Structure 1
Amino acid sequence: MKFLFIGTSRENGGAETHFVTLTQALAGTGHTVEAVVHLGAPMAQALADTTVQLHAGRFRNVFDLRGYHATITAARRLKPDWLVGDFGKEYWPLILIGRLLGIPVALFRHRLKPMKWLSARLVARCAQRFFAVSQYARRDCIEHGMPARRVQVLYNPVNMELCRPDPVRRATLQQQLGLDENAIVLGCFGRLHAGKGIYTLLDAANAAMAQEPRLHCLWLGSGTDTQQLRESIASSPFPARHHQPGWVADASPYYNVLSMLAFPSIATEAFGRTPVEAQACNVPVLCSDAFGIPETLQPGVTGLLLPPGDTEAWRDGILSLCNDTKRRSMAAATRDFALRHFSTLVIAAEFVRQLGDLQN
């Protein structure tokens, strides 16, 4: 099949990662994939050395004629089987271009923020396929006016070659971070702000450190609360056992230094990419039992579900995985789980299968 992806975002979040990973997955399984992107943006940089052919374009808003021109030009040249979009500001332009050129449109919804009333009722009806990224997100779409029969689910794919166990990386990072090889490392990766539950995790980690001298915590990422978190760590009982390297462009190597990953969000989450990436690297996870997050793990097998915002429960969960036997047993099951449910091969095949389903 031939696909033209349109994604002119200049951000570097979950939707952008999905765009890059899905295009690469489809191209890697023999499909022809091209993309209209904002050249110089993180997505364009990530796809620059791949087989995905890029076209310069940008939609500043639904009325941006330059975006229409770039997309129509690329579509007329490629003659794709599908136009695919990930970003809300491009929903209506793609629907209009699809109608103009007679090309079906597939759209993804990554956010839980409700669309405007008219769009919520019409976008999924006007696109030939509309995908939410979890069952939870699908229910949210339906609750906000989308017709249930028009909303399908496709999980975010994870590049299993990029996210994989690597003992050499592990040893290198342990040395860089000044960690003993017997250290138990709890990781929290991503945007650092209060809605991600970082302060609950900090309190829980300190409480666990009081009982487990091998425990360290690695905070990787940045956000609005980066400085406040740094100050809270500095005044905590164990500041030397917290490590804050800051933001890195590619977090995948750092999973290898972890013994467990925490995803303690208290704000709504449509999905949770970092728990899946961690499991792909043989790292068990501790996740909030809320929103779309429980769909990212096999509770009791590859990780634990914990009540969001409950410091004592998170302390106990951390200490539970400080038990070497339990943690290693879970770690042994994680990569196979991620491969079966979230690998690029699995998600690309499911995407094509759902596009081929003629039932509307």
Structure 2
Amino acid sequence: MVRVLTLVDAFRLGGAETLIAQLGRVAGTAGFEMDVLSLSPPSEEHSKLEPLLRESGLTPRYLGVRRTLDPRAPRLLANAIKESGADVVHAHLEMAMTLAVPAAKMAGRNAICTWHHVHRALPGRAAWREKLALEVSSRAYRTIFVSEASRKSFADKYRPGKPLPKNWVVVHNGVDLAHFSPGPALMPPEFGVTGRPVVTVLAAQRDFKGITHAVDAWPKVRAARPEARMLLVGSGDEHENLRCQVAEAGLQDDIIFTGARSDVVDILRASDVVLLPSTYGENLPTVLIEAAGCARPVVASRIGGIPDIVEDGVTGLLTPPGDPSAIADALISLLDDPSRRAAMGVTARSHVEQHFDAVNWARQLKSLYEEASVVGVPA
């Protein structure tokens, strides 16, 4: 059985990172063994994924590297790869990809790299880090993009008018649909929303997630459905700005900040609508697949790979990015129509079973792992 060392920048509670926990649940079924390693040392922020990893049967380990240009990093990582007994290394996120390819080569292994976002304009050092990561990851055995929108965005930016590298492939992520499934609606009681209609935004609180537009939309929703509440589940560098925005709008009783949570299945099952109001940068958002797995309808922005998941008017509603009025209208229309919500949820579940099941995703990855484990490492 092929053994894989899965490498990430840190064990944060982000979309790409939580996918690794889901992959761990189905790895054995798909026919491969999986270890997980964080480049960053443990910390409160960089260890939040640990409970989910352990629930998936994985043992989190840390390398203790804080920056990409740490001169010790390639050798430390190469030694960790050898000690793990891995046949192949699978790196997720920029720092991990940049270090994994040379370190895997030093260890006599092939590397596979996955990009989880679409390209967007970046300033200064961030742009340099992305360019470096793409250049390095393109020398891996395979460079995976999780949607065609993602692959095209990087091709348009970095290889305009040139043929795509042969190792650039598209493999859709999947979700463990045995875990993210319809079930009892058990909203945590500490939120104080029992018996009320609930809209949930489950997302990192960063600028591109567009949560500020969800807050701007809420007064219109409240005017139509004053009993409704919105949950903001997650954390991030926009947290304090969002709190100020909510306070200035007088919405403290309507919008509940829950912080990062590990009980997202319960929250999704108990939500009436799941909202993702992103303005740019979205690729194939895991939360929308998870919501569909739990048979929940969604309202989301029509950007990136989101239309691959959400069929407008069938499994949810798509709105223009950055349009609070359109967001409010979509939420109100679903909150006012329970039978439509239920029908959308059933159809959404069927759609992700066909296209985004984690076992199918894992089997596709297994084929790549097996190929990479028997092909020689380029000199």
TMscore range, shorter length:
0.7 to 0.9
Q: What's the offset of the Cα at 1:272?
A: 1.4
2:112 matched residue in structure 1: 106
Identity of aligned residues (%): 22
| Structure with greater contact order relative to length (CA < 8 Å, sep ≥ 6) | 2
Q: What code does the residue aligned with 1:33 have?
A: M
1:166 matched residue in structure 2: 183
Long gaps (5+) in structure 2: none
Q: Name the TM-score, length of structure 1 as normaliser.
A: 0.85
Q: What's the offset of the Cα at 1:261?
A: 0.9
Cα 1:302–1:66 change in 2 (3 A) is: same
Cα 1:55–1:201 change in 2 (3 A) is: closer
1:82 aligns with 2:83: no
Q: 1:1-360 alignment to 2 at 5 Å? A: 1-37=2-38, 40=42, 41-48=47-54, 50-52=56-58, 55-62=61-68, 64=70, 67-77=73-83, 79-111=85-117, 112=119, 114=127, 119=132, 122-145=135-158, 147-167=164-184, 169-170=186-187, 173=188, 175-179=189-193, 181=195, 183-236=196-249, 239-322=252-335, 323-355=337-369
Q: What's the offset of the Cα at 1:144?
A: 2.8
Q: What's the offset of the Cα at 1:64?
A: 4.2
Separation (CA, whole Å) in 1 of partners of 2:217 and 2:272: 16
Q: What's the offset of the Cα at 1:10?
A: 5.0
Q: Name the TM-score, length of structure 2 as normaliser.
A: 0.81
On the 8 A contact 1:266/1:288 being kept in 2, the answer is yes
Q: Aligned to 1:127, what secondary structure does the other structure show?
A: coil
Cα 1:233–1:82 change in 2 (3 A) is: same
Cα 1:262–1:131 change in 2 (3 A) is: same
Q: What code does the residue aligned with 1:331 have?
A: G
On the 8 A contact 1:165/1:256 being kept in 2, the answer is yes
Separation (CA, whole Å) in 1 of partners of 2:225 and 2:134: 53
Q: What code does the residue aligned with 1:106 have?
A: I
Cα 1:240–1:166 change in 2 (3 A) is: same
Q: What code does the residue aligned with 2:243 have?
A: R
Q: What's the offset of the Cα at 1:237?
A: 6.4
Long gaps (5+) in structure 1: none
Separation (CA, whole Å) in 2 of partners of 1:22 and 1:318: 32
Q: Aligned to 2:317, what secondary structure does the other structure show?
A: strand
Separation (CA, whole Å) in 2 of partners of 1:50 and 1:63: 32
Per-residue CA distance 1:194-238 (angstroms, 9 max, x = gap): 432223222322212212344322222233333343343345466
Cα 1:247–1:140 change in 2 (3 A) is: same
Per-residue CA distance 1:62-116 (angstroms, 9 max, x = gap): 5546544454344435553321111322334322233334422101122435555
Separation (CA, whole Å) in 2 of partners of 1:54 and 1:218: 30
Q: Aligned to 2:193, what secondary structure does the other structure show?
A: coil
When the two chains are superposed, the root-mean-square deviation of aligned CA atoms in Å is 3.1
On the 8 A contact 1:187/1:217 being kept in 2, the answer is yes
Cα 1:65–1:290 change in 2 (3 A) is: same
Per-residue CA distance 1:154-211 (angstroms, 9 max, x = gap): 23332334323332524xx3x5433353x32111122234432223222322212212
Deviates more, 1:319-328 or 1:192-201: 192-201
Separation (CA, whole Å) in 1 of partners of 2:233 and 2:130: 38
Separation (CA, whole Å) in 2 of partners of 1:42 and 1:242: 24
Cα 1:148–1:299 change in 2 (3 A) is: farther
Separation (CA, whole Å) in 1 of partners of 2:132 and 2:75: 23
Separation (CA, whole Å) in 1 of partners of 2:103 and 2:198: 50
Separation (CA, whole Å) in 2 of partners of 1:194 and 1:126: 31
Per-residue CA distance 1:322-349 (angstroms, 9 max, x = gap): 2122112111222222232222212101
On the 8 A contact 2:78/2:104 being kept in 1, the answer is no
On the 8 A contact 1:163/1:253 being kept in 2, the answer is no
Q: Aligned to 2:182, what secondary structure does the other structure show?
A: coil
Cα 1:93–1:2 change in 2 (3 A) is: same
On the 8 A contact 2:296/2:348 being kept in 1, the answer is yes
Report the number of matched residues.
355
